[in-house]
A and B are shown apart, each in its own frame.
Chain A
Amino acid sequence: MEIPYTVETREDTGLNNGKIGIWLFLASEVMLFGALFASYILLRVGASEWPRGHTILNVPLATFNTVVLITSSVTMVMAWASLMRRKFGVFRVYQALTVLLGGVFLVVKYFEYSAKFHHGLLPHTSNFIAIYFTLTGLHMIHVIGGMAVNAYLWGPGAKLYKTNPEWFTNRVENAGLFWHFVDLVWIFLFPTLYLL
């Protein structure tokens, strides 16, 4: 059975189903991260002492990761724009760059986490370190999830382009929406944890 409204828009919503689905999912993600941000605020304002992030965390590494994620957002949107122009080869290059940049983010995070473990800074050390690992860990899981989807669309999932390029373009757009959301979360995590 064919999946309805993958390309054509529904009359009542004016959108295809995939786009509504991804936005509803992102709305639930906002609440997930929102709950943790609320926990962070509660812990921080209830604490008699709370460190400024830059006294404990590595700001240069996190700044580098911010640049990496923002760049990956641009390559993601360029991948979609390439498909809109029906330039599949260019799409493959930008999509590969997006996945690679996600990988760079994870490698940097690995070094950052390793240094924390090496210094004995573990989640049970303090509430600051606990919320740091919780928020960045959850964000990292999202990066891995986004990379998996993007890698699939670069590899086996790209077969769809040959039979239904519009549907494939919509899939890439929806994957991009998730990836930009991951970037957006980091844009708030970075100053909240590392600079304040």
Chain B
Amino acid sequence: MSASHDVDIDKHVRVYITVFVSLMALTIFTVWVGYRNLPIGQAVTVALLIASIKGGLVASYFMHLISERKLIYAVLVSTVALFAVLMLVPMLTVNDGTMVEHPGGVVHTVLPGHEGGHEGGAEGTPEAAPETAPAAAPESGAAPESAPAPAAEPAPGGAQPEPAHN
């Protein structure tokens, strides 16, 4: 190995150490923000922003993307585009106007052409909600066995009521 090659690798190593320290600092910051109990919108924005910075550091320096060939970028651009489509699918599903929230808090999908049927009858009519609730419960975060009545205090995600820290 030539001396200049070794110097080059030494530079790389220094960068790796710097990235490592940055990732640790960002991890601590993520946890600190997580415990601040920010409103969910802000919490999601901050958490994903920090995760993106961390991910960018790993991809750029540990995976050497910062100095990679064009073909790799082409593969990744196509992947990112398809990934974006994949993420948009749930958003479109949620915002297509078919999601109806019942008085019990249960979200239910009304399929086109079935508005007048069973699902249509449930749309906003309190008496229909108990009929649809059992079927819809597994789609929500609530567990079937721990959500006896919509009026009851909901267990977090249907999990055991008490925090399950180990």
A residues with CB within 8 A of B = 13-15, 19-20, 23-24, 27, 30-31, 34-35, 37-39, 41-52, 54-59, 61, 63, 66-67, 70-71, 73-74, 76-78, 81, 84-86, 111-112, 114-116, 118-121, 125-129, 176-177, 180-181, 183-184, 187-188, 190-192, 194-196
Contacts and interface: CB of A to CB of B under 8 A. Distances in A.
A81 B9 contact: yes
Contacts of B75: 23-24, 27
A51 to B, nearest CB: 3
A74 B51 contact: no
6 contacts: A41-B90, A45-B90, A46-B139, A74-B17, A85-B6, A120-B160
Given A81-B16, A121-B160, 12 more contacts: A14-B69, A38-B86, A38-B90, A46-B99, A51-B156, A57-B164, A78-B13, A119-B166, A181-B63, A183-B62, A191-B30, A195-B33
Contacts of B71: 13-15, 20
Interface residues on B, range: 35 or more
Interface string B1-33: 100011001001100110110011001001101
Contact of A81 (B12, B50, B101): B12
A58 B165 contact: yes
A55 B34 CA distance: 11
Interface stretch (B53-61, B110-118, B119-127): B53-61
Contacts of A196: 34, 40, 43-44, 47
B105 A34 contact: no
Contacts of A35: 86
B55 to A, nearest CB: 5
Contacts of B87: 34, 37-38, 41
* A38, A176, A187 — most chain B CB neighbours (10 Å): A187
A47 B59 CA distance: 33
B94 interface: yes
Contacts of B20: 70-71, 74
A41 B90 CA distance: 7
Query: Main SS of chain B's interface residues?
Result: helix
B7 to A, nearest CB: 11
Interface of B: 1, 5-6, 9, 12-13, 16-17, 19-20, 23-24, 27, 30-31, 33-35, 37, 40, 43-44, 47-48, 50-51, 54-55, 58-59, 62-63, 69-72, 75-76, 78-79, 82-83, 86-87, 89-91, 93-94, 99, 101, 104-107, 109, 138-143, 146, 154, 156-160, 163-166
Contacts of A39: 90
Contacts of A49: 105, 140-142, 154, 156-157
Contact of B31 (A42, A63, A120, A184): A63
A115 B166 contact: yes
Contacts of B160: 119-121, 125
7 interchain residue pairs of minimum CB distance: A115-B166, A126-B158, A51-B156, A195-B34, A128-B157, A47-B141, A48-B105
Nearest to A124: B143
Contacts of B90: 38-39, 41-42, 45
B88 to A, nearest CB: 9
Nearest to B44: A196
Contacts of A125: 143, 146, 158-160
